[in-house]
Amino acid sequence: MTRILLVLLVLLGTAGAVVAYGDPKRISAAGDVMSTMLKKRIAAATAAADAAQARMVDIPRGTGGEFTALAKVNGINAPMVIDTGATSVVLTYETAKAAGLPLELLTFNVELETAGGHTRAARLSLDSLAIGKLVERSVPALVVPRGQMKTNLLGMSFLDRLESWEVRADQLRLRGYP
């Protein structure tokens, strides 16, 4: 639709030049100017659309009804369940260890209610957390003691940093800031 409007605009511009100038050389020059302007406009619109697409990740709903993604925590792969009910990103002890986090320095003093019951967790900050092309730095997170959880949770301490996130049918769309 946009391209049709642009073609019509070129035709109208050329017709206007014919009426205004009457000189074939001036008409040709006006047509060239219009073509150049439109090419630049199309290139800018295409670049903007590509940039917006690059900062977007679509996640399909799993067979159990949850949304899961393969994240990179400090550069290592970590499967995560997206949990909008979780205030924070929560890592299992095993994932935190694989990510090279200083577990021996942590104090497990944060009271936490999980689907599995009550536990304690330790606060820390992740150097980086990436879902596809969306990368956030210095993300607040919690780590639970060994064996307290079976899966990592991607909670609001990550999701709140995004421009938006939405669920439509069986797709979760995460959109980062441009």
Q: Give just the sign of the alpha carbon dihedral 19, 20, 23, 29.
A: negative
pLDDT reported for residue 38: 65
Per-residue pLDDT band for 145 (boundaries 50, 70, 90) equals very high
Higher-pLDDT residue of 144, 32 = 144
pLDDT reported for residue 114: 80
Contact 78, 90 (CB under 8 A): no
pLDDT digits (tens, 9 = 90+) for 47-81: 555 554 568 999 999 999 999 999 999 999 999 99
Higher-pLDDT residue of 146, 33 = 146
Q: DSSP alpha helices (H): ranges in the chain?
A: 2-21, 24-54, 93-98, 156-159
pTM to 2 decimal places: 0.71
> How many other CB atoms are found less than 10 A from the CB of residue 81?
19
Domain ranges of the chain: 2-54, 58-175
pLDDT digits (tens, 9 = 90+) for 151-162: 999 999 999 999
pLDDT digits (tens, 9 = 90+) for 105-142: 999 999 998 877 889 999 999 999 999 999 999 999 99
Q: Provide the CATH number for the domain formed by 58-175 in this structure.
A: 2.40.70.10
